[in-house]
Amino acid sequence: MPVSPMQRLLESAVQERGFPRSSYTVRSDKEQPFGFKRSEPRGPSNRFASLAVASHRNSSPSEREWRAMDDEIKAADFVLEIKNDLESDDFVPYARETLSRATEFLRRMMIHAHAANVTGVGVPQIGPADQGSIDLYWEKSDRTLLINFPAMESVANYYGRKPKSEVSGRFDPSEARGELAFWLAD
Amino acid sequence: MADWIVEDIPDQDSLFYRVPVDWLRRDLKVAPGVFRENKGSMSTDWEKYSSAAQTRSRQGRPERFAVLRLAVGKIREIEELTVSHEPVQGVEGQPDNQAHTGVYGLESQSVGPADLGRKERLRTALFERFKAWEIAPHARID
């Protein structure tokens, strides 16, 4: 069976993180794009039925988190429709490339977390910021993390705060930055 | 008409900040991304000389905007931000506006290691203080 790009990403994340026995597998794109399922025996009869009837109660925390993230990513397309509203003279259009840089980073980060059996990273709000940049913003009970992806620059700037801990800096968004996921989830 | 003087704005006063509804997610909530500079500062109106409704209408087509109320004292709690009354009068291409006030400091000219994540920190601080709309998106126009 051909290996999907997401499967390759997951495998690489598992290898990089040193979790060769992760309990997560990726289904083929045809079955459930980017979806996770715990490794368990599956009979042909319930293979697709499980998708149809799976309720939030029966799905694992990581599945729910992944689905919520996917929903947020789909909803984020609204930023591509923002036009120059005359409010800003230095308006920079929101590009698909910038949005993809942010959402692909988010997926990689989540894969790393789930591959390490870490859930509770939470799903950020994806939204527009200044000069064509895109924000990922996590707001949890005692912590926040804001990551900004500038337009036309393959970097990301971030700031996060929780009790007794502040993090900030800049990184290459083609990296997964699993430690930020762990920082959010611990 | 007498020239408008620059005044000190007391901490207990508020500024009105116009936000295009286009910038908002489907839930229409305030987000850190709404705090941004235009021509070197965040452009706001001092409540002494402007109502929230006037701020909303200042560029025309008020239905495109929502308005936030920013308490000056809470802005000044954020060490790197300053508030400066800057009435606009007789400037070509700009309508007169005695209320106009700039909030400075969001952008930094410096790009040293200590500045990485600075703007994100300041936007987070603003967002944590100002989450409630004074005039909500799509509110009726009086």
Q: Quick check: B25 and A127 CB within 8 A?
A: yes
Count of domains forming chain B: 1
pLDDT in tens, A134-179: 999 999 999 999 999 999 888 999 999 999 899 999 999 998 888 9
From the list B66, B15, B54, the residue with the least C-alpha distance to B142 is B54
Nearest-angstrom CA–CA distance, B16 and B3: 23
Looking at the complex, report in whole angstroms how far the Cα of residue B58 sits from the nearest Cα belonging to chain A: 11
Looking at the complex, report in whole angstroms how far the Cα of residue A122 sits from the nearest Cα belonging to chain B: 17
The answer to whether residue B1 sits within a structural domain is no
Chain A residues within 8 A of B121 when measuring between CB atoms: 159, 161, 168
Q: Quick check: A90 and B38 CB within 8 A?
A: yes
Whether residue B34 contacts residue B4, with contact meaning beta carbons closer than 8 Å, is answered with no
Nearest-angstrom CA–CA distance, B102 and B38: 10
- What are the beta bridge partners of residue B88? B97
The count of C-alpha atoms lying within 13 angstroms of the C-alpha of B26, restricted to the half-sphere facing its C-beta, is: 8
Q: Which domain holds residue B128?
A: 14-23+32-135
Whether residue A78 contacts residue B26, with contact meaning beta carbons closer than 8 Å, is answered with yes
Chain A residues within 8 A of B128 when measuring between CB atoms: 144
Looking at the complex, report in whole angstroms how far the Cα of residue B121 sits from the nearest Cα belonging to chain A: 5
Q: Which domain holds residue A86?
A: 5-185
pLDDT in tens, A84-134: 866 567 789 999 999 999 999 999 999 999 999 998 999 999 999 999 999
Residue with tokens 């990184």: A171
ipTM: 0.93
Q: Residue ranges of the alpha helices (H) in chain A?
A: 5-17, 49-53, 61-75, 96-115, 178-185
Q: What is the mean pLDDT of the segment spanning B15-30? A: 95
**A75 touches B: beta carbon within 8 Å:** yes
Whether residue A90 contacts residue B38, with contact meaning beta carbons closer than 8 Å, is answered with yes
Count of domains forming chain A: 1
* Positive or negative: CA dihedral B44, B49, B53, B59: negative
Nearest-angstrom CA–CA distance, B139 and B125: 26
Chain B residues within 8 A of A86 when measuring between CB atoms: 59
What band does B62 get if pLDDT is binned at 50, 70 and 90? very high
